Structure 1
Amino acid sequence: MKSTILFQKKVFTQNNILSIVLIPFFLLVIIPIQAQNVSVELGPNEIGANEQFSITLKIANDRLRRYGDFPDIAGFEKAGTSSSSSTNIINGQISSSYSVTQSYLPSREGTFKLPSFTLAVNDTEVSSPGTTITVGPPKQRNAQNPFFSDPFDNLFGRRNQPQEFVDVKAEAFVALTTSKDTVYLGEGFTTTLAIYLSDKNQAQLQFYDIGKQLTDILKQLRPSSVWEENFNIENINGQPVTINGQGYTQYKIYQATYYPNNTEPIRFPSVPLTMIKYKVAKNPSVFGRRRQEGFKEFKTEPRTVYVRELPPHPLKASVAVGNYRLDESISEQELNTGGSFNYTFKVMGEGNINYIEKPPVRTTDAFDFYEPSVEQNINRRSNQVTGSKAFSYYAVPNEPGEYNLGDYFNWVFFNTASQQYDTLSSDIQVLVEGKSRKNEYISSQDVGSFYNRIAGVNNTLQSRNNDGWLQLAANILIIGMLALVAVITFKK
């Protein structure tokens, strides 16, 4: 018989867990942000009894610092929340968007009213007129789906009298796995919490209050000294895997990549996961109960990930860690002094994209490089975090000649693939023609009236050693003043 999990909540979203990709705080302070825009979107108002209704809160151009409780809907129960975010920085302006989705599970078929409601968001409020939700019969699903319910549980609303049930052994286990056992400081490793069902399993299992359980589990699992990139699992789908030569189906419950901030070992304790486990009727009939509900607790094994120091290097304390490559572009390579060009230094690959800083640019008289605009993209898929961070520079050439931009743009990082320090350097060469802008720069400066008088002033050298009489006169004047003060004081 095929392994089966009966999933009470088809779409799983993490309850009260908000994972937002933030840009560094100093950018939020220094760079102006556009006005925020807040909206509420409602899901389809016609759903099946085995589907979910959703309310999505969206905010643009501001961080989602806090928000109020989503409304309760009669005939529905809350199934947890999920979140997403994106951030762009162009010409010093931040463009960002965040969204939080609350999912609801219908408890029965029928027509339900969602009254108008108001949500508090940051320091403002947003309103929705509400809607009417129609819940129809369950929509047909693939019979191979392990979350498909038994259609004979309540056929015609009839149940047989209590009968004998037998316990079937569950060939399943819950495990917390990590992609690596040892990492360098700042190197990412992916942590996965999942339940595994053997292909030989015959027991029927069902997730029980998974949103609340996961919230409690993550309070124990989440390390305090890491940067987290949460994969935000919204749908629990089975994936075939092989363990020790035996076939299993893996159902991921939680997955995130952690980047350690210090060298202390990261210890994951053993955590429990409670599942609903059904006993099956010894002599099932078409109109009788075919199973009896019970509970079974699974536990993970404790796990430790060790963190190593980076090798010695002058930039050891500030370099990014990962497996990166350079993708660069320039608007044109044949330039004229006084003109302008755009150059993009784009770092791509696997690692903590948020930690990537702009490359240090060498300052010379040959070019004027202005502060770059920044664009960041992060992808969380296939058990890894990849992405890119692009720094787009506006520049003006000042001196004619041939230049290698590699002399100006170099970015050092620790390469986790080679386990040594590496440098991304520009390979672009530019040819600058025209006159030097040095004299143009000097002539453009206002030297003031003092320098304008130079041409009309006598430039004959004169000695400054004949000013002794001035010192004598000054000394006599000082003595006279002291004598006057003494006389006045004596008379008083």
Structure 2
Amino acid sequence: MKKSKPILLLVAFMLLPLASLKAQDISIQLGKDEVGLNELFTITVTLQNGSIKSYSDFPEIDGFAKRGTSSSSKTNIVNGQITSSQSIIQRYLPLEEGTFTLNSFTMELNGTSISSNGKTIKITPPVERRRNSRRNRFDPFDDLFGRNEPRKAPEFVDVKEDAFLALTTDKDEVYVGEGFTTTFAFYVADANRAPLQFHEAGKQLSTILKDLKPENCWEENFNIENIYGERVTIGGKNYTRYKIYQAAFYPLNLEPVVFPSVPFEMIKYRVAKSPSFFGRDREEDFKTFNTREKTVKVKALPPHPLKDAVAVGDFELDEKIDKTTVETGESFEYTFNIYGEGNIAGIPDLTIPSTKTIDIYPPNVSQDINRGSGRVTGSKQYSYFGIPNEPGDYDLKDYFGWVFFNPEKETYDTLKSTVKLKVTGESKKNVSISSTDLGSFYDNIDVASNELKNLNEDKTAQIIANLLIIAMLAGAGYLFFKK
């Protein structure tokens, strides 16, 4: 038994080099600091001891235009140890002379992030390319390997792709206000042999969405920032799905939701018919894929007095109150929180019945919306302040209730409060009356006569008074002139 330990240790040390072969290292190499107008700048991402399965878009560079990608792989055997590397090279064509900046950027390779600090690139006038004079000299080995013979242009062929573009929805028929998730994605079969690559996906999508988004729906965009591959099975066949756009839509009326056929352009490489060790193995080309038109039917909600004003979804209630026993004139805080799956932003506010027994003030409203995994969930919270005026026991369900339609159960449901409030103290009715007292003038209204009187009164007394005033003025005038 003691002898077995050295043997096990020896086996472990022998396996260490083999384990180290599987370690993967990712690096980014940037091209030259200066490139001529007739040269290409490159960014190379290299994976050591592994296979590149997926990678994100290369960055855009001011003053340059992307001119496709290529791949390369190397295998080295040194002292019996095998190392390999695979690279993706993005080529950039200079557009004008000047100095331009490649900003720092981050890429995803096989789900792992790697960053680069960028650099400053100077574009110079076209560079004169020198030919190697040795190639013009006669070399006996050139004839042997055929290097003096004129090279033939490589022939490239188009390989039929096993891929398609599709717009799918998780439901074919919905109620008005019921949400359905729409996915715009590119599918590549595991058996595909045609090299494909995304090309200006963001720019294309901004144009496509102008035609794709329905006008009769509320949209909740899932905001896909990076395109990643995920394994799916369709009809027993394995595919990698690349989601380009995903959103939940909520129909606002009974019009069918129609998604037209839209195009999307991909880079599709033509492969060399007779690959050579030193020549190019593929040539860049473009292929346009199209979706099929898709229609989602919309049906009306069942009859109900509030069918035109209710939310549609699966909701629950979470309520809180800071105290269940208060005195008249003392305030309390009550929270009515609606949460679940549906159009959270479109949830209608509660309708509170008017009452003199409790003063309920307009609420503070907050909402939280989560978009992910093909669903829109969240909550909408209403925080109320109330002041009771009369003592007694109050069932808050008489004041706080909210009706919605559940499309899964196809029934209307109501979220009602289960809180009971106990109010003690004296009635605030007299206080309320005195605060609205308008004074003694209005107090006499009830005892004042309401008999109608004629406004055409006898003016005899007024005429006599006027004559006496005139006589007095005349007497005063006479005495004044006599003196």
Q: TM-score, normalised by structure 1?
A: 0.63
Instruction: Report how far residue 211 of structure 1 moved.
Output: 2.5
Match of residue 177 from structure 2: 186
Identify the residue that residue 171 of structure 1 maps to in structure 2: 162
SS at match of 2:297: strand
Select which of 141, 146, 149 maps to 2:109.
141
Determine which of 394, 410, 414 is the counterpart of 2:401: 410
Higher RCO (Cα < 8 Å, 6 or more apart)? 1
Q: 1:335 to 1:254 in 2, by over 3 A?
A: same
> Aligned to 1:474, what secondary structure does the other structure show?
coil
Matches within 5 A, 1:62-141: 73-75=62-64, 107=92, 141=109
Shift of 1:166: 3.2
Task: Give the distance between the partners of 2:294 and 2:63, measured in 1 at CA.
Answer: 43
Instruction: Provide the secondary structure at the position in 2 that maps to 1:439.
Output: helix
1:89-142: CA deviation from partner (whole Å, max 9, x where unpaired): xxxxxxxxxxxxxxxx99489xx978xxxxxxxxxxxxxxxxx65569x97833
Write the letter of the residue equivalent to 2:109.
Answer: R
Q: Is the 8 A contact 1:359 1:409 kept in 2?
A: yes
Sequence identity percentage: 51
Residue of 371, 377, 392 corresponding to 1:401: 392
User: Counterpart of 1:9?
Assistant: none
1:213 is matched with which residue? 204
Helix, strand or coil: the match of 2:154?
coil
SS at match of 1:169: coil
Does the 8 Å contact 2:368/2:380 carry over to 1? yes
1:473–1:417 CA distance, 2 compared to 1 (3 A): closer
Amino acid in structure 2 at the alignment position of 1:345: F
The reply on whether 1:249 has 2:240 as its aligned counterpart is yes
Provide the rounded CA distance (Å) in 2 between the counterparts of 1:270 and 1:463.
Answer: 82
CA contact under 8 A between 1:267 and 1:302: conserved in structure 2?
yes
Q: In the alignment, which residue of structure 2 is the partner of 1:474? A: 457
Corresponding residue of 2:287: 296
Moved segments of 4+, more than 6 Å = 47-54, 451-454, 461-465, 470-473
Q: How does 1:429-440 map onto structure 2 within 5 Å?
A: 429-440=420-431
Task: Give the C-alpha shift of residue 462 in structure 1.
Answer: 12
Shift in Å, 1:210: 2.0
**Distance in 2, Cα, partners of 1:414 & 1:210:** 39
Q: How big is each residue's C-alpha offset from its partner over 1:56-87, in whole Å with a ceiling of 9 and x where there is no partner?
A: xxxxxxxxxxxxxxxx944588xxxxxxxxxx
Once the two structures are overlaid, the 10-residue window that deviates more, 293-302 or 437-446, is 437-446
* CA distance in structure 2 between the partners assigned to 1:388 and 1:326 by the alignment: 10
Q: In structure 1, what is the Cα distance between the partners aligned to 2:272 and 2:311? A: 59
Is 1:229 the equivalent of 2:212?
A: no
Residue 199 of structure 1: aligned partner: 190
- For 1:268, the equivalent position in structure 2 comes to 259
CA deviation digits over 1:434-460, x for unaligned, max 9? 111112222344442437899xxxx9x
Deviation sequence 1:311-367 (CA, Å, 0-9, x none): 111111111111111111111112111111111111111111121122111222221
1:30-41 equivalences under 5 Å are none
Q: CA RMSD in A?
A: 3.7
| Structure-2-length-normalised TM-score | 0.64
Equivalent of residue 367 in structure 2, options 361, 365, 376: 376
Asked whether the equivalents of residues 108 and 135 of structure 1 are also in contact (C-alpha less than 8 Å), the reply is: no
For residue 228 of structure 2, what is the amino acid of its counterpart? N
How far does the alpha carbon of each residue in 1:35-59 deviate from its partner, in whole angstroms, 9 at most, with x for none?
xxxxxxxxxxxx99887779xxxxx
3-state SS of paired residue (2:301) = coil
Please give the alpha-carbon distance, in whole angstroms, between the structure 2 residues aligned to 1:48 and 1:445: 81
Q: Judging changes above 3 Å, is the alpha-carbon distance between structure 1 residues 315 and 340 closer, same or farther for their aligned structure 2 residues?
A: same
Kept in 2: contact 1:183–1:307 (CA 8 A): yes
How far is the alpha carbon of 1:430 from its aligned partner?
1.4
Rounded to whole Å, the distance in 1 between the matches of 2:258 and 2:427 is: 62
Cα shift at 1:257: 1.1
- Opposite residue 398 of structure 2, the aligned amino acid is D
Q: Distance in 1 between matches of 2:270 and 2:349?
A: 60
User: Which of 316, 320, 333 pairs up with 1:329?
Assistant: 320
Match of 2:410 in 1: 419
Task: State how far apart, in whole Å, the 2-side matches of 1:463 and 1:386 are.
Answer: 67
CA distance in 1, matches of 2:454, 2:436: 41
Q: Find the partner of 2:334 among 343, 346, 360.
A: 343
Name the amino acid aligned to 1:326.
Answer: L
Q: 1:144 to 1:309 in 2, by over 3 A?
A: same
Aligned length: 347
Question: Does the aligned pair in 2 maintain the 1:75–1:106 contact within 8 Å?
Answer: no
